[in-house]
Structure 1
Amino acid sequence: MTQAPTPTADTVRRLVRSLLKDSTPGAGEAAGPEVRPVAEGGGHSTWWVGTRHVLRLAGDRAASSRRRREPRLRDLVRPHVPVAVPTSVAQGEWAPGLAYTLDTKVPGGSAEEHDVSAVGEADLAGLLTGLREVPVRQAEALGVPRVAPRSLERLRREAGRAAERLRAADEFDPARLQQLTSPAAVQLAAQPGGAVLVHHALTGEHLVISADGRVRGVLDWTATVVGDPAEDIAGLALAVGSPAAVRAATLAGYGARPCLRGLWLARCDTVIRLAAGLEGRDAVPLPLLRTRLLRAWEAILLERVTELRDEEPDDAEL
C-alpha cells in the first residue's frame, strides 16, 4: 500500500491559494493565506486557513469516501437542526485518491473551552430532535452506513477488566461499575426499530460553543451512521457531562431507557479508554481521557436502572 503523503504548510498553502484568490484579501500575494494546523502535534489533517475557513484533508481512501459524502450529508441535515453545520466552499483531491473539503469556519470555541448553559442544553435537545427527524432512507442513499447497536453486557465485562487495571494504577474504583449489573445491562439493550441518524462523534472539539454557553454549531459529520441514538447521548456525556447530556436527551423526548443506556455506554467507554491510554494504546492525551471519565461519572438523578419495566420502556420517572 502506498504511504499517504504528510501535508505541510506549503502543501496546504499551495492548495488553497487558487481556491481563495477571489474571496480572501491578500490571498493573491506570493505568501498566500496564513495556514496553521488546528491541533499541534497531530496528523495535520485539519488546518485553519486565514480567519474564515477550515481545510480538512483525508489521510486514506476510506476517509476520502466519508469526506466526499460529508457535504451532501450536511445539506440533508441542515434544515432539521437548530445549530450551524459547516458549508463547503470547495472540495477535491489534495493528493491522488485523497479528498479534501474547504469549509466556512463556524464562529465560537469548543466544549473544552466553554461550559454549556441551560439554553445551550436546549440547543443540544434541538440537535438530537433534528437528527431523529432526518429521513433515514435519504441518508442511506448517500452512503451513510447502518450500524448495529453495541452490546452493553459485552462492554460492561470489558470495562470490568479495564477497571481492575485502573485500580492497580490508583485511577478508578472498580466498585463503581457494580451499579451496572448484568441484568440491568440486558434490560438496557437498544430497542428494535429505534435506529436514527447518529452523528457518532459528539466530542467536545466538535461542538462549537459561544462564550454565553449557547451551542452554535456541530462539526465533522464524517463518522455519521444510522444506528443507536444512545451513542450520541453518550458522546454528549463525554463532552458536557452526564447531567447536561441526560437533560438534553430528555428535552428531546428520549425516555429513561435510552438516557440510561447512553450514560452507561459513556461510563464503560471512558474506563476502557483510560486504561488503554495508560498502556499507550490510545492517542488521546491522558488529561483529556481523565476529564472525560469524570464527566461521564458525574451523578444524575436517573440512576436506578433496575426499576425500568419492559412493558413501559420509556415511562420511567426522570
Structure 2
Amino acid sequence: MTDTPEAPPGLDPVRLREHLDAVRPGLVAGPLRARLFQGGRSNLTYLVEDGQHAWVLRRPPLGHVLATAHDMAREYRVLGALHPTRVPVPEPLLLVEDDTVLGAPFYLMEYVPGTAHREAAALAALGEQRVHALGIHLVDTLIELHGVDPDAVGLAGFGRPEGFLERQLRRWGKQLDASRSREVAGIDELHERLAKSLPASPAPALVHGDYRLDNVLVGEDDRIRAVLDWEMSTVGDPLTDLGLLVMYTELARRFDGILPGAALAPGFPTTAELVARYTKGSGRDVSGLGWYVGFASFKLAVVLEGIHLRHSQGRTVGPGFDRIGELVPAFVQFGLDAIKEQ
C-alpha cells in the first residue's frame, strides 16, 4: 500500500469512493487504497482500505465476455443466504451491477482476517494436534454447508439438481474438446468410464464447487472464519465437493510442489479419516466415492490441459507452467485408478 490512492488493474479507488459516498454515505472515512490479491480461480479480488476500515471487493477478470461465467450477483446471493447460517462466510455489503463505476459489475463484502493455508511448512508450524483438528474442522464445515436447505435460505432455483452429474460431465467433455492439442493417454477412456458409470445422486445440497483448505480462511484459534470463492457454487450433488477434497488431498501427497501442499503437514488427517468424518456427520452413503474422485481428476486434467495449450501458444505464463503438460497423464491415471478401486 502507498499513502496516496493507487489504481490497481480493474479498480479505480477514486471512482469507487465517489460511488460509495453516493449510495452508502458515511461508510468510507477517508481516501481509498486498494491492492489486488494474488491467486484465486478467475474473478479478481481486492483489499480496499480507508485507513480505519477494510473491505474486500470482487469483480470479473479484465476483458471478460461471458457474464454468466463471472456472475457477481450469483456470488453475492449465496453469501447473503449463508451469512445467517452456521456456515462461515464474509458478510456481503453491497452489490453494484452497473458497470459504469468500475467497468464491470462488482460486490463489496466484509474483510475477514485469517490465513489461507497453501504450504505444508506454514501449516506444520501449528503442530500435529492443531493441524489434525483443523483438517477435521474443514470436513465439519463442509457437512454444515451440505446440511443447509437451499429453499429455506432463499436459494430456490439456484441450481438444477435433476441431471446434474450428466450435465457436468457433458460440459467438461466439451471443455476437453476445446483444449485438445495432442493425444493424452487415458483421458478419453476416463471420460467414457465416467459416462458409463454415472451414480445415482443423493438428495441435492448447496455445492461449493472448489472446496479445499486453501479456499478457507483460518483464524488464530485454528477455526475456519470464512469459506471463500463461491463462483462455482450451485445446488447439485454434494459428493462432488467431497470427491474434489479427497482428490486434492491425495494429489498433494503424490505431486508435492505442484498443487497446494498443506495436506502434507504432519498431523493432517488421512483420506480415510476425512471420508469417515464426512460419512458420520452427513449420514450420506459414500460407497461410490471413487466415481466422484475420478470425476474431480478429470476436471483437473482438463483445466491443466487447457493451461498447457495456452502456454504452448505463448498465451499464458507462470511458474511451473512449462511442466503442466507432463503432469496431465498422471492425473488422468489417478482418476482411472479411483474408478477402478470403487
Where does structure 2 lack aligned partners over 5 or more consecutive residues? 1-8, 125-130, 254-269
Tell whether the 8 Å contact from 1:274 to 1:286 is kept in structure 2 after alignment.
Answer: no
| 1:56 shift after superposition | 1.5
Q: Does residue 217 of the first structure (1) align with residue 232 of the second (2)?
A: no
Rounded Cα–Cα distance in structure 2 between residues aligned with 1:294 and 1:78? 40
Aligned partner of 1:57 in structure 2 is 59
Q: 1:131 aligns with which of 127, 134, 145?
A: 145
Secondary structure at 2:206 match in 1:
strand
Q: Does residue 87 of the first structure (1) align with residue 91 of the second (2)?
A: yes
Q: Map residues 139-288 of structure 1 onto 2, 5 A cutoff.
A: 141-147=155-161, 148-151=163-166, 165=182, 174=185, 186-187=196-197, 189-202=198-211, 206-210=215-219, 214-237=223-246, 240-241=249-250, 247-253=273-279, 254-280=284-310, 285=318, 287=320
Rounded Cα–Cα distance in structure 1 between residues aligned with 2:156 and 2:316? 30
| 1:260 shift after superposition | 1.6
Aligned partner of 1:171 in structure 2 is none
| 1:274 shift after superposition | 1.8
Q: Does residue 100 of the first structure (1) align with residue 109 of the second (2)?
A: no
| 1:225 shift after superposition | 0.8
Secondary structure at 2:245 match in 1:
helix
Secondary structure at 2:310 match in 1:
coil
Aligned partner of 2:256 in structure 1 is none
The amino acid across from 1:56 in the alignment is R
TM-score, normalization by structure 2: 0.62
Tell whether the 8 Å contact from 1:111 to 1:240 is kept in structure 2 after alignment.
Answer: no
Rounded Cα–Cα distance in structure 2 between residues aligned with 1:42 and 1:125? 21
| 1:193 shift after superposition | 4.6
Q: Does residue 112 of the first structure (1) align with residue 126 of the second (2)?
A: no
- Cα gap change, 1:101/1:194 in structure 2, threshold over 3 Å: closer, same or farther? same
- Cα gap change, 1:273/1:53 in structure 2, threshold over 3 Å: closer, same or farther? same
Identity of aligned residues (%): 19
Rounded Cα–Cα distance in structure 2 between residues aligned with 1:285 and 1:131? 33
Superposed CA RMSD: 4.9
| 1:194 shift after superposition | 3.2
Tell whether the 8 Å contact from 2:207 to 2:238 is kept in structure 1 after alignment.
Answer: yes
Rounded Cα–Cα distance in structure 2 between residues aligned with 1:176 and 1:212? 43
After superposition, give the CA deviation of every residue in 1:19-43 in whole Å (9 maximum; x if it has no partner): 787456xx33xxx122112238998
- Cα gap change, 1:235/1:88 in structure 2, threshold over 3 Å: closer, same or farther? same
Rounded Cα–Cα distance in structure 1 between residues aligned with 2:41 and 2:14? 17
Rounded Cα–Cα distance in structure 1 between residues aligned with 2:150 and 2:307? 35
TM-score, normalization by structure 1: 0.66
Where does structure 1 lack aligned partners over 5 or more consecutive residues? 168-173, 309-318
**How many residues in Structure 1 have an aligned counterpart in Structure 2?**
288
Tell whether the 8 Å contact from 1:204 to 1:240 is kept in structure 2 after alignment.
Answer: no
- Cα gap change, 1:297/1:52 in structure 2, threshold over 3 Å: closer, same or farther? farther
The amino acid across from 1:86 in the alignment is P
- Cα gap change, 1:207/1:297 in structure 2, threshold over 3 Å: closer, same or farther? farther
After superposition, give the CA deviation of every residue in 1:116-154 in whole Å (9 maximum; x if it has no partner): 932222222222212222113346755412153335987
Aligned partner of 1:316 in structure 2 is none
**For structure 1, which segment, 246-255 or 220-229, has the greater mean C-alpha deviation from structure 2 after superposition?**
246-255
Aligned partner of 1:315 in structure 2 is none
Aligned partner of 1:312 in structure 2 is none
